[in-house]
Amino acid sequence: MPATDELVRRRAPQIARAIQTAASGSPLEADFRRPVEDTLARFADEAGVPLRAHDEYTLATGLADTVYNRLVIEYKRPGHLAESLSNRNNAAAVEQVKRYLEDIERAQRIQKARLVGVVTDEIRG
């Protein structure tokens, strides 16, 4: 198995294309989310990283789409987000994920600096 950095460099373009393809299909969030999660799971298997997803993970302030250990992914329907962080939809999504991270920090006593949150609707080319 190649070193993890090499594997990431080699597979990143393919993963990005798979995510773009998923986003170009149905306008529904669930139809975007499923193929992205499958792509991430295949990559994790290839990298030898155990990946246990908790879909629709209940937290104090809401329902996170997917939580992988210390990574929270919030999916939005394709085209929902804009390129600017000042966009209303973007700001609301970022705040949503921040609340989820704070919930995990409190509930699991994990330092917030050790948590990562991602909001995505697609990758813009």
- What are the pLDDT digits (tens) for 9-66? 999 999 888 888 888 877 778 888 888 889 988 988 988 888 888 889 999 999 999 9
Which run of H or of E encompasses 68?
strand 62-68
Q: Please give the Cα distance from 36 to 3 (Å, whole number).
A: 23
Decide if pLDDT at 100 tops 90. Answer: yes
Average pLDDT over residues 101-111: 94
CA-based Rg of the chain, rounded to a whole angstrom? 15
Decide if pLDDT at 125 tops 70. Answer: no
Domain regions of the chain by residue span: 4-120
Distances, alpha carbon 81 to alpha carbons 57, 74, 77, in Å:
22, 12, 8
Average pLDDT over residues 85-105: 95
pLDDT in tens, 112-121: 899 999 998 8
Domain 4-120 has CATH 3.40.1350: yes
